[in-house]
């Protein structure tokens, strides 16, 4: 899952990239408001979530948020800030933020809030994504196919998650790469096929359908 | 006794008592003396008057005693004798005055009582006029006591007036005290000065001045605490996250890297706490600075601590410290290390690899300038003075500062009685930090 992190503090940013990477997120990290706006304006990369620090240099988080919403993107935004007055929270939420986290916070809470935002984006109420006999639990990052629990690697989970975002939709190799890998990660040309191979081995070949010339989609009734 | 009111009352009362009893004693003695003199004069008058009288037809009262009720102890008694001491006339009790050998005033005893006698010679007659001393004393004492009456009434009255007046005049002071006493601890607005006597005004003015300074200091303190709490959030967040991600990694080298990151985070937080403490401890009066340090030794030592960091970035130091030889400046080594360490930190941080950092000392008449110049990008002119503010960070700055370094330098240099300024180099790009410190003269250091 591709997320954009806008945070100016090197140590916080480094730890967030590491911690989120552990959970299979592909994190693009920018350290000022202008870079954040540029990254968001790039329609090639569609971010599942924006983690936005309020106190960014050059253009602050609120300016980034305003620019994002003006451009008509409904990417979920989780604001991170050291300010904790009610007024600030109201300003942030009214400015288009979906949730709000006050520094200092714990990684576990951040991840839970991110999952909740992603769930809402997919229109789900429960934590587990269900499609036919296949269910995907973002907390344990396990897949379950007809009562058989299967452990997935981070990347395999991201791949399934991407395919399950809109069941039936066909995703190209580029679209899948863009959802699974961050900027700084070197992607082999057959990396996506390799991941699909892995998932098919664990869940059965029929789970992912190959649409010749376009890409892949999740099976209608896995 | 610390009450101004009672001190005034007691002092004035004591003065009143001394002056009052003095004047009472004086008027008592004086009145007695004048009464005695008057009575003496009266005796002489009577004697003179009697000397001009013809006593031939008068029967002596002594020979013909008057009825007892006529008898008056305080009466003047008179005895007139003719030639050879023949009794011509004697009035009432206690009988005739015996013949006297001397004329004029004298005291004598007659039938057990003391008398004041005046005796005069008028032709062949000798006249003696006498008055009992006891009577005279009574009259004199009566007169003297009545002279004391106004003082006796006046003294207590004045005493009461003193209490009342002092009480009344000290009321503004009491009101001011009550006003202060009723205040909440943080109510630092000025005390009202209307209606205060001129003598108390300076005190209240001084208190108000102090209150105003306290108010300012308190405000700075509160802002500082808020700023500090805010400044701590970022490193604490980093620490929390650095600790949180330790769990996630199974790879041992990745784990080691994450642990290093956590340690760096702890160092950063510790450094911030140190700086906050330094900024906060700094007392506002320069009198607290008693230590002084050799400048050249201090700078060489501080620079040596930065050699490793400089080598990492391939930076060189150029020292021109000849002017710093035998120069002592105020401050202890820790304070000087904080000042020059922070400036060197900045110079290292903003220098591109391969650059030179120059440290030059220039001795003036009573001060010494220490200049640290780097070959970095310098600063926009508008930021040259604002960077000294606490928690100030330049927009877009990606280095790991917490915005306290230059504030620490600024407040420490001020504490040592010096000044610090930043300017952009004119010969090339780069920042020049100039610290001016007062010289400790030989006499001061002796």
Number of Cβ pairs closer than 8 Å across A and B? 72
Among the partner-chain residues B230, B248, B396, the one whose CB lies closest to the CB of A19 is B248
Q: Is B163 exposed, middle or buried (0-12, 13-18, 19+ CB in 10 A)?
A: middle
CA B99 to chain centre: 80
> Phi/psi of residue B133, each to 5°?
-60, -40
Strand A215-218 to B113-122 pairing: unpaired
Among the partner-chain residues B237, B393, B400, the one whose CB lies closest to the CB of A104 is B237
Is A104's CB within 8 Å of B268's CB?
A: no
Q: Which of A12, A84, A85, A153 should one mutate to test binding to chain B, selecting the residue with the greatest count of B CBs within 10 A?
A: A12
Query: Does the structure show a pLDDT above 80 at B446?
Result: no
Q: For residue B107, give both structure tokens.
A: 């005291």
Tens-place pLDDT, residues A66-105:
999 999 888 999 999 887 778 878 888 888 899 999 988 9
Higher confidence at residue B25 or residue B71?
B25
> Which residues of A are less than 8 Å from B242 in CB distance?
11, 15
Is B236's CB within 8 Å of A108's CB?
A: no
> Which residues of A are less than 8 Å from B398 in CB distance?
8, 10, 31-32, 57
Is B249's CB within 8 Å of A22's CB?
A: yes
Strand A99-102 to A49-53 pairing: unpaired
Residues composing chain A: 222
Ranges B252-256, B294-298, B353-357, B388-392: which has the least confidence? B388-392
The pLDDT value given to residue B283: 55
Question: Can you tell me the distance from the alpha carbon of B169 to that of A98, in angstroms, rounded to the nearest whole number?
Answer: 69
Ranges A164-178, B2-16, B70-84, B348-362: which has the least confidence? B70-84
> Which residues of B are less than 8 Å from A9 in CB distance?
234, 237-238
Mean pLDDT of chain B: 82
The pLDDT value given to residue B397: 52
Question: How close, in Å, is residue A24 to chain B by CA atoms?
Answer: 11
Banded model confidence at residue B445, pLDDT cuts 50, 70, 90: very low
| Cα atoms in the Cβ-side hemisphere of radius 13 Å centred on B199 | 4
> Phi/psi of residue B109, each to 5°?
-110, 135
Is B244's CB within 8 Å of A19's CB?
A: yes
Residue whose token pair is 């609120």: A62
> Which residues of B are less than 8 Å from A8 in CB distance?
398
Among the partner-chain residues B230, B234, B261, the one whose CB lies closest to the CB of A15 is B261
DSSP B85: G
Query: Does the structure show a pLDDT above 90 at B227?
Result: no
* CA A166 vs CA A155, A173, B422: distances in Å: 18, 16, 59
Mean pLDDT of chain A: 86
The pLDDT value given to residue B214: 87
Question: Can you tell me the distance from the alpha carbon of A207 to that of A167, in angstroms, rounded to the nearest whole number?
Answer: 12
C-beta separation of B173 from B57 below 8 A: no
Give the chain B residue whose CA is nearest to the CA of A19. Answer: B245
> Which residues of A are less than 8 Å from B250 in CB distance?
none
Helix axes A33-41, A61-70, angle to 10 degrees: 20
Other C-beta atoms within 10 Å of B143: how many? 17
Question: How close, in Å, is residue A33 to chain B by CA atoms?
Answer: 9
The A residues from 10 to 69 touching B (CB cutoff 8 Å) are: 10-12, 14-16, 18-19, 22-23, 31-32, 57-58
pLDDT > 90: what percent of chain B?
Answer: 14
* CA A96 vs CA A36, A84, A89, A93, A209: distances in Å: 16, 17, 11, 5, 37
Among the partner-chain residues B245, B395, B398, the one whose CB lies closest to the CB of A19 is B245
Is B237's CB within 8 Å of A16's CB?
A: no
The pLDDT value given to residue B64: 52
Question: Can you tell me the distance from the alpha carbon of A113 to that of A95, in angstroms, rounded to the nearest whole number?
Answer: 19
Is B245's CB within 8 Å of A11's CB?
A: no
Banded model confidence at residue B234, pLDDT cuts 50, 70, 90: confident
Q: For residue B219, give both structure tokens.
A: 């405000």
Report, as an integer, the average pLDDT of B163-188.
Answer: 83
The pLDDT value given to residue B400: 52
The pLDDT value given to residue B442: 54
Banded model confidence at residue B262, pLDDT cuts 50, 70, 90: very high
Question: Can you tell me the distance from the alpha carbon of A100 to that of A83, in angstroms, rounded to the nearest whole number?
Answer: 11
Report, as an integer, the average pLDDT of B232-254.
Answer: 87
The pLDDT value given to residue B286: 52
Banded model confidence at residue B60, pLDDT cuts 50, 70, 90: low
> Which residues of B are less than 8 Å from A31 in CB distance?
398
Query: Does the structure show a pLDDT above 50 at B348?
Result: yes
> pTM of the entire structure?
0.59
Question: How close, in Å, is residue B283 to chain A by CA atoms?
Answer: 30
> Phi/psi of residue A208, each to 5°?
-120, 125
Q: For residue B182, give both structure tokens.
A: 């009723």
Q: What contacts B29, CB < 8 A, 6 or more positions away?
A: B144
For the stretch B263-297, what's the b/e string if a residue is b when 16 or more beta carbons lie within 10 angstroms of its beta carbon? Answer: ebbeebbeebeebbebbeeeeeeeeebeebbbbbe
Pick the closest to residue A77 from A62, A88, A87 (CA basis). Answer: A62
C-beta separation of A33 from A9 below 8 A: no
SS3 content of chain A, % helix, strand, coil (to 5): 40, 20, 35
Question: Can you tell me the distance from the alpha carbon of A166 to that of A216, in angstroms, rounded to the nearest whole number?
Answer: 12
Ranges A108-122, B79-93, B199-213: which has the least confidence? B79-93
Tens-place pLDDT, residues B284-311:
555 566 788 888 888 999 999 888 888 8
Pick the closest to residue B356 from B339, B373, B370 (CA basis). Answer: B373
Report, as an integer, the average pLDDT of B377-395.
Answer: 75
Is B400's CB within 8 Å of A107's CB?
A: no
Higher confidence at residue B396 or residue A75?
A75
Pick the closest to residue B22 from B11, B34, B33, B14 (CA basis). Answer: B14
Q: Residue B80: enclosing H or E segment and its boundaries?
A: strand B77-81
> Which residues of A are less than 8 Å from B236 in CB distance?
103-104
C-beta separation of B158 from B152 below 8 A: no
Question: Can you tell me the distance from the alpha carbon of A54 to that of B26, in angstroms, rounded to the nearest whole number?
Answer: 94
Question: How close, in Å, is residue A61 to chain B by CA atoms?
Answer: 13
Question: How close, in Å, is residue B175 to chain A by CA atoms?
Answer: 42
pLDDT > 70: what percent of chain B?
Answer: 88
Tens-place pLDDT, residues A201-216:
888 888 888 888 888 8
Banded model confidence at residue B70, pLDDT cuts 50, 70, 90: very low
Give the chain A residue whose CA is nearest to the CA of B255. Answer: A18
Query: Does the structure show a pLDDT above 70 at B160?
Result: yes
> Phi/psi of residue A53, each to 5°?
-80, 140
Give CA torsion, residues B253, B258, B263, B266, to 10 deg.
180
Is A58's CB within 8 Å of B395's CB?
A: yes
Pick the closest to residue A13 from A30, A36, A26, A25 (CA basis). Answer: A30
Other C-beta atoms within 10 Å of B224: how many? 15
Query: Does the structure show a pLDDT above 90 at B249?
Result: no
């Amino acid at each position: 899952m591709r997320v954009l992190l806008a945070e100016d503090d090197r140590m916080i940013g480094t730890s967030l990239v590491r911690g989120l990477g552990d959970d299979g997120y592909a994190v693009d990290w920018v350290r000022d408001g202008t870079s954040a706006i540029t990254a968001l304006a790039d329609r090639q990369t569609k971010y599942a979530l924006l983690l936005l620090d309020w106190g960014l240099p050059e253009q602050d988080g609120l300016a980034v948020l305003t620019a994002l919403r003006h451009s008509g993107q409904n990417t979920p935004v989780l604001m991170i800030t050291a300010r904790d007055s009610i007024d600030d929270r109201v300003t942030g939420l009214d400015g288009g933020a979906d949730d709000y986290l006050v520094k200092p916070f714990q990684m576990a809470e951040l991840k839970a809030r991110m999952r909740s935002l992603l769930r809402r984006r997919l229109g789900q109420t429960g934590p587990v994504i269900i499609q036919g006999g296949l269910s995907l639990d973002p907390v344990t990052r396990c897949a379950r196919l007809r009562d058989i629990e299967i452990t997935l690697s981070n990347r395999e989970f991201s791949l399934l998650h991407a395919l399950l975002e809109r069941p039936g939709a066909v995703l190209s190799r580029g679209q899948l790469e863009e959802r699974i890998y961050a900027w700084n990660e070197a992607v082999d040309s057959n990396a996506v096929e390799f991941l699909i191979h892995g998932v098919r081995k664990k869940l059965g070949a029929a789970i992912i359908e190959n649409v010749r010339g376009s890409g892949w989609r999740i099976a209608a009734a896995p | 006794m610390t009450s101004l009111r009672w001190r005034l009352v007691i002092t004035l009362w004591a003065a009143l008592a001394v002056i009052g009893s003095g004047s009472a004693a004086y008027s008592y003695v004086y009145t007695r003396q004048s009464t005695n003199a008057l009575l003496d004069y009266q005796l002489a008058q009577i004697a003179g008057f009697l000397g001009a009288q013809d006593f031939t037809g008068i029967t002596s009262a002594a020979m013909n005693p008057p009825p007892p009720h006529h008898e008056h102890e305080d009466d003047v008694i008179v005895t007139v004798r003719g030639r050879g001491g023949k009794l011509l006339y004697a009035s009432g009790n206690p009988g005739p005055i015996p013949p006297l050998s001397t004329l004029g005033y004298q005291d004598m005893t007659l039938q057990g009582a003391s008398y004041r006698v005046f005796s005069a010679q008028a032709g062949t007659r000798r006249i003696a006029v006498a008055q009992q001393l006891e009577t005279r004393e009574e009259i004199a004492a009566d007169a003297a006591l009545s002279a004391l009456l106004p003082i006796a009434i006046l003294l207590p009255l004045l005493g009461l007036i003193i209490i009342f007046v002092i009480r009344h005049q000290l009321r503004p002071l009491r009101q001011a005290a009550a006003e202060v006493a009723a205040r909440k601890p943080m109510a630092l607005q000025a005390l009202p000065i209307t209606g205060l006597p001129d003598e108390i005004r300076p005190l209240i003015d001084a208190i108000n001045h102090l209150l105003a300074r306290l108010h300012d200091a308190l405000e700075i303190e509160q802002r500082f605490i808020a700023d500090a709490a805010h400044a701590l959030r970022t490193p604490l967040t980093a620490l929390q996250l650095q600790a949180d991600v330790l769990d996630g990694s199974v790879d041992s080298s990745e784990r080691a890297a994450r642990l290093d990151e956590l340690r760096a985070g702890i160092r950063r937080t510790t450094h911030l706490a140190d700086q906050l403490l330094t900024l906060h401890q700094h007392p506002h009066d320069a009198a607290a600075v008693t230590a002084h340090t050799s400048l050249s030794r201090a700078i060489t030592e501080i620079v040596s601590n930065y050699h490793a960091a400089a080598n990492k970035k391939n930076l060189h130091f150029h020292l021109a410290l000849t002017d710093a030889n035998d120069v002592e400046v105020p401050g202890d080594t820790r304070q000087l290390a904080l000042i020059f360490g922070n400036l060197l930190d900045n110079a290292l941080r903003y220098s591109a690899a391969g650059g030179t950092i120059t440290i030059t000392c220039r001795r003036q008449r009573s001060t010494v300038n220490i200049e640290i110049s780097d070959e970095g990008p310098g600063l926009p002119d508008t930021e040259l003075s604002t960077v000294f503010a606490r928690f100030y960070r330049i927009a877009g700055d990606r280095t790991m500062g917490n915005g306290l370094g230059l504030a620490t330098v600024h407040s420490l240099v001020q504490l040592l009685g010096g000044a610090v300024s930043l300017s952009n180099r004119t010969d090339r790009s780069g920042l020049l930090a100039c610290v001016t410190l007062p010289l400790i003269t030989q006499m001061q250091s002796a």
